[in-house]
């Protein structure tokens, strides 16, 4: 709704008010310019009438003109003379009598400028009403985005911060655009021929926002208007997700505790007959809100809930889930701040294997703690059995076992600056093959035999024995 008082507040128009201060809340529907003595037949109400007063020759002319405006219920009159002198007193008096607000236009301001500025404002209001009608009809995000593209005259897309296209079709550079969005100091931002506009943020976290992508530089006000309406759809999805996640906490609790009502919990969540994966996530600074946001954006169909300082998710198993999650987390890295996010994913299981899957996901996540990178995703099917077993052993116990089995060799290396531990690792990695291990170490086989013999002497063991090799292999992996 465009009001007369709004026009007076536009500095570029420099309009001044002569009369009608108590009528400034009148709505302007269009601009109409005229020099007719009686333009009433061309008026339908709500107009801002522009006139240079070429029809004015005396007080009776003002009376006729203003009375016609009043009968048509115009919003107001904006008048200007061709010479730099005051508006006629009889015109001001007529406007007072007939309750027609009178605005004076500076002589150096063209009526075309006023028409263009007011028309732009009215187009914006009409656009907003049309878009709002799409939302009110419940047509959904695709219909809103299509209408928005038509209004802006440009292609539009909506992306999640995990790089997922929420609406708008395929977008080749979506990953790079999301990274630009997450790293931007100021938004909206025009980059690579498109404009990035934030849709909404929950809890002040940009990771929880969607990204409106508009194909080209556009009027920021129009793009922000569309983004605000897309934000309503974002809010609806977030509220739906919140409702779905109400079943997550009791379900995860039933999984971790081995509760008897697990099957009923799965049925309540619609997961009773599906193959499932359990996901365990933490951050380096115990930010469960951040870990939950990452999983919700990366796994939109999974149920997510925090338990202590860990966030768990349960979702339908897919062979591509580990790779999809890795890609999503790489995209979100610029929005993680100083936090490091570690995620473990279980192998696919039926309902009977969920408790073990939760343990597997936890062990996988702990293995990720020993790897590098801002984000790390470890899937159960990638992990050898001995790694899973060691992941379940407390750090203090792993250190103690490593020291007990390898102590003399560790001390020897420290004292002599040698690397018998490295030699032993390569030898065991090569399954005890002298030639393969010697080639990998770039030494003669006799040199290798001497070094391995020195290890056996220090440890008092025979590496020809299988059990001895297994113990030392595990001790090396525990470090």
Cis peptide upstream of residue 188 (ω within 30 degrees of 0):
yes
pLDDT in tens, 14-23: 999 999 999 9
Q: Region of 318 please: left (phi>0), alpha (psi -120 to 50) or beta.
A: beta
Least confident of 151-155, 190-194, 385-389: 385-389
Backbone angles phi, psi at 221, to 5 degrees: -65, -40
Burial of 210 (0-12, 13-18, 19+ CB in 10 A): buried
pLDDT grade, residue 204 (50/70/90)? low
Domains of the chain are 4-118 (3.40.1390.20), 139-234 (3.30.450.40), 245-392 (3.30.70.270), 395-478 (1.10.10.2840)
**pLDDT surpasses 90 at 363:** no
**pLDDT surpasses 90 at 61:** yes
Closest CA to 364 of 303, 310, 286: 310
Question: CB neighbours (10 Å) of residue 386?
Answer: 13
- Compute CA distances 180 → 51, 145, 183, 231, 372, whole Å: 50, 22, 5, 20, 24
Beta carbons of 313 and 278 less than 8 angstroms apart = yes
| 434 or 126, greater pLDDT | 434
Q: What is the dihedral of CA 464, 466, 467, 472, to 10 degrees?
A: 70
Closest CA to 448 of 429, 469, 464, 433: 433
pLDDT of residue 205: 73
pLDDT of residue 222: 78
Beta carbons of 350 and 268 less than 8 angstroms apart = no
**pLDDT surpasses 90 at 71:** yes
pLDDT of residue 114: 86
- Compute CA distances 100 → 1, 21, 27, 43, 65, whole Å: 19, 10, 13, 14, 11
Beta carbons of 76 and 49 less than 8 angstroms apart = yes
> SS3 for 34-95, per residue?
CCCCCCHHHCCCCEEEEECCCCCCCHHHHHHHHHHHHHCCCCEEEECCCCCCCCCHHHHHHH
Backbone angles phi, psi at 79, to 5 degrees: -120, 155
pLDDT of residue 385: 57
Strand, coil or helix: 151: helix
Backbone angles phi, psi at 316, to 5 degrees: -65, 135
**pLDDT surpasses 70 at 255:** yes
pLDDT of residue 124: 62
What integer is the mean pLDDT of 467-473?
81
pLDDT grade, residue 367 (50/70/90)? confident
Tokens 């997700």 -> residue: 241
65 token code pair = 């003109």
| 384 or 475, greater pLDDT | 475
What integer is the mean pLDDT of 270-297?
91
**CA–CA dist 365, 352 (Å, integer):** 22
pLDDT in tens, 310-332: 999 999 988 889 999 999 999 99
% of the chain exceeding 70 in pLDDT? 94
**CA–CA dist 269, 315 (Å, integer):** 10
**CA–CA dist 141, 226 (Å, integer):** 11
pLDDT grade, residue 84 (50/70/90)? low
What integer is the mean pLDDT of 99-106?
94
Closest CA to 404 of 452, 477, 459: 459
pLDDT of residue 393: 59
The whole-chain average pLDDT of the chain stands at 86
Residues, the chain, total?
Answer: 479
What integer is the mean pLDDT of 303-313?
93
**CA–CA dist 128, 148 (Å, integer):** 10
pLDDT of residue 29: 84
**CA–CA dist 187, 24 (Å, integer):** 35
What integer is the mean pLDDT of 261-290?
90
In the Cβ-directed half-sphere of 88, how many Cα atoms lie within 13 Å? Answer: 21
CB neighbour burial string for 264-281, b if at least 16 within 10 angstroms, e if fewer: ebbeebebeebebbbbbb
Query: Directed axis angle between helix 321-332 and helix 174-183, to 10°?
Result: 40
pLDDT grade, residue 386 (50/70/90)? low
Closest CA to 211 of 244, 171, 242: 171
Beta carbons of 196 and 252 less than 8 angstroms apart = no
pLDDT of residue 381: 73
118 token code pair = 């007011």
**CA–CA dist 287, 277 (Å, integer):** 23
pLDDT of residue 391: 56
Strand, coil or helix: 403: helix
Closest CA to 27 of 5, 11, 9: 5
Least confident of 154-163, 279-288, 357-366, 443-452: 357-366
Residue 227 CB partners (closer than 8 Å, separation 6+): 197, 198, 199, 212
**pLDDT surpasses 60 at 202:** no
Residue 133 DSSP symbol? H
207 token code pair = 């990771």
Report which secondary-structure segment, H or E, holds 369.
none
pLDDT grade, residue 180 (50/70/90)? very high
Task: Provide the edge-to-edge strand list for the sheet that holds 189-191.
Answer: 165-167, 156-160, 210-214, 194-198, 189-191
What integer is the mean pLDDT of 224-237?
82
pLDDT of residue 82: 56
């Amino acid at each position: 709704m465009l009001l007369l008082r709004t026009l007076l507040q536009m500095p570029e128009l420099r309009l001044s008010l002569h009369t009608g201060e108590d009528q400034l809340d009148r709505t302007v529907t269009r601009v109409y310019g005229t020099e007719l003595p009686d333009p009433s037949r061309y008026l339908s109400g709500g107009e801002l009438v522009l006139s240079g007063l070429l029809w004015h020759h005396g007080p009776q002319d003002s009376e006729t003109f203003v009375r016609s405006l009043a009968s048509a219920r115009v919003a107001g009159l904006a008048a200007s003379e061709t010479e730099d002198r005051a508006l006629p007193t009889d015109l001001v008096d007529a406007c007072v009598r007939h309750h027609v607000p009178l605005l004076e236009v500076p002589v150096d301001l063209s009526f075309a400028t006023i028409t263009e500025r007011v028309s732009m404002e009215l187009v914006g209001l009409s656009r907003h009403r049309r878009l709002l009608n799409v939302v009110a009809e419940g047509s959904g995000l695709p219909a809103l985005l299509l209408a928005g593209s038509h209004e802006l005259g440009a292609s539009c897309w909506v992306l999640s911060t995990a790089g997922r296209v929420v609406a708008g079709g395929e977008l080749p550079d979506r990953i790079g655009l999301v990274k630009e969005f997450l790293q931007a100091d100021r938004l909206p931002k025009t980059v690579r021929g498109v404009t990035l506009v934030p849709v909404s943020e929950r809890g002040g976290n940009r990771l929880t926002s969607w990204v409106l992508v508009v194909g080209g530089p556009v009027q920021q006000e129009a793009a922000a208007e569309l983004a605000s309406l897309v934000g309503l759809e974002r809010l609806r999805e977030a509220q739906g997700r919140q409702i779905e996640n109400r079943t997550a906490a009791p379900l995860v609790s039933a999984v971790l505790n081995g509760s008897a009502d697990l099957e009923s919990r799965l049925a309540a969540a619609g997961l009773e007959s599906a193959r499932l994966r359990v996901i365990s996530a933490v951050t380096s600074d115990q930010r469960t809100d951040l870990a939950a946001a990452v999983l919700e954006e990366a796994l939109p169909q999974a149920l997510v809930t925090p338990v202590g300082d860990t966030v768990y998710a349960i979702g339908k198993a897919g062979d591509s889930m580990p790779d999809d999650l890795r890609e999503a987390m790489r995209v979100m890295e610029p929005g993680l701040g100083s936090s490091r996010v570690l995620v473990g994913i279980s192998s696919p299981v039926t309902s009977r294997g969920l408790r073990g899957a939760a343990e597997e996901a936890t062990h996988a996540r702990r293995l990720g703690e020993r790897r590098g990178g801002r984000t790390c995703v470890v899937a159960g099917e990638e992990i050898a059995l001995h790694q899973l077993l060691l992941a379940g052993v407390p750090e203090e116990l792993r250190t103690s076992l490593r020291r007990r089995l390898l102590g003399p060799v560790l001390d020897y290396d420290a004292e002599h600056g040698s690397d018998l531990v490295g030699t032993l690792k390569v030898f065991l990695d090569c399954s005890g093959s002298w030639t393969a291990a010697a080639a990998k170490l770039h030494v003669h086989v006799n040199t290798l035999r001497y070094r391995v013999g020195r290890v056996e002497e220090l440890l008092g063991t025979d590496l020809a024995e299988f059990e001895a090799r297994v113990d030392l292999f595990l001790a090396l992996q525990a470090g």
